[in-house]
């Protein structure tokens, strides 16, 4: 241990020992950093870059997939809308058809009922005419019997009266 003093082996304080020591210092520092610190640093930076790239790619892919799904959903919704419209339209025509059918049936039924009524009335009229004719014939025969005074042969009478009545009518 010496008393401290200012180094001035060469002008400006340059000293071969110190120069060598500083060269060595730098060498040691570089060696340790290059061997232990920087490789780890690079590894982490690369890893992170890869992770980030992956993340970006993933999100990109997710985005395209989302867009695709959206498109699909849109397609499905559109198809459904079309289908529902179709169904509504179909339902309209079907209803129309049913209505027309019902109407036609109702008309036909009404016409049938009217025809039946007309036919029954005609029948009843004919029956009534028949009955009237027979009564009239009976009355005429009775009246003629009274007039003639005797009873006419039944079959002859009847034939005559009926002939008469047919002519009258």
Partner 1 sequence: MFWPISHLLPSLTGGATHILADAGGPLWLLPGIDVGPTTLFTIGPFPVTNTLINSWLSMIIVLVLFLGATRKMAIVPKGLQNFVEWGAGLLIDFCEEVAGKPWGRRFFPFVATIFFYLLFANWTEIIPGVDSLGTPMPGTHPVAGIFLLGNDSNKFYPWVRPASSDLNFTLAIALISVVVTQIYGFRTLGFRQHVGKYLNFRDPIGFIVGILEIVAEFARIISFSFRLFGNVFAGDVLLIVLGTLLPFIGPTVFYPLELFVGFIQAFVFSALTLVFLSLAITSHEDEHASAAHTEHSEVGELASADAVH
Smallest distance, partner 1 to C-beta of residue 15, A: 6
| Two structure tokens written together for 19 | 């120069």
We find the least distance from the C-beta atom of residue 45 to partner 1, in angstroms, to be 7
Q: Could you tell me the smallest distance in angstroms from the CB atom of residue 21 to partner 1? A: 6
Considering the complex, state which of residue 45 and residue 87 has its C-beta at the smaller distance from partner 1: 45
Cα 77 to chain center, whole Å? Answer: 10
* Residue 15 binds partner 1 (CB under 8 A): yes
Contact 106, 130 (CB under 8 A): no
Helix (H/G/I), strand (E/B), else coil: 150: coil
Determine the angle formed by the axes of helices 154-168 and 38-148, rounding to 10 degrees.
Answer: 120
- Using CA atoms, how far residue 62 sits from 47, 49, 50, 73, 119, in Å, is 22, 19, 18, 16, 83
Which CB sits closer to partner 1, 1 or 168? 1
For 112, the token pair is 């049938």
Q: Which is nearer to partner 1, 21 or 121 (CB)?
A: 21
Supply angle C-alpha 40, 46, 49, rounded to 5.
140
Which 19-78 residues touch partner 1, going by CB under 8 A?
A: 19, 21-23, 25-30, 32-34, 36-38, 40-45, 47-48, 51
In terms of CB distance, is 27 or 95 closer to partner 1? 27
The closest of 162, 155, 156, 154 to 133, measured between CA atoms, is 162
Q: Are 15 and 9 in contact (CB under 8 A)?
A: yes
Tell me the site size for partner 1, rule CB under 8 A. Answer: 41
CB of 80 to partner 1, least distance (A): 46
Shortest separation between residue 54's beta carbon and partner 1, angstroms: 11
Q: Residue numbers of the site for partner 1 (CB under 8 A)? A: 1-9, 11-15, 17-19, 21-23, 25-30, 32-34, 36-38, 40-45, 47-48, 51
């Amino acid at each position: 241990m010496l008393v401290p003093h200012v180094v001035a082996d060469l002008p400006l304080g340059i000293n071969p020992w110190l120069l060598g020591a500083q060269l060595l210092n730098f060498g040691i520092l570089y060696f340790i950093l290059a061997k232990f610190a920087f490789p780890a640093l690079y590894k982490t930076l690369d890893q992170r870059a890869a992770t980030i790239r992956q993340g970006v790619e993933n999100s990109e892919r997710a985005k395209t997939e989302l867009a695709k799904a959206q498109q699909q959903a849109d397609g499905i919704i559109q198809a459904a809308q079309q289908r529902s419209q179709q169904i509504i339209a179909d339902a309209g025509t079907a209803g129309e058809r049913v209505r027309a059918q019902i109407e036609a049936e109702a008309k036909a039924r009404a016409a049938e009922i009217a025809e039946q009524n007309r036919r029954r009335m005609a029948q009843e009229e004919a029956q009534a005419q028949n009955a009237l004719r027979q009564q009239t014939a009976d009355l005429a025969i009775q009246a003629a019997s009274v007039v003639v005074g005797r009873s006419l042969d039944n079959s002859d009478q009847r034939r005559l009266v009926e002939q008469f009545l047919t002519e009258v009518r």
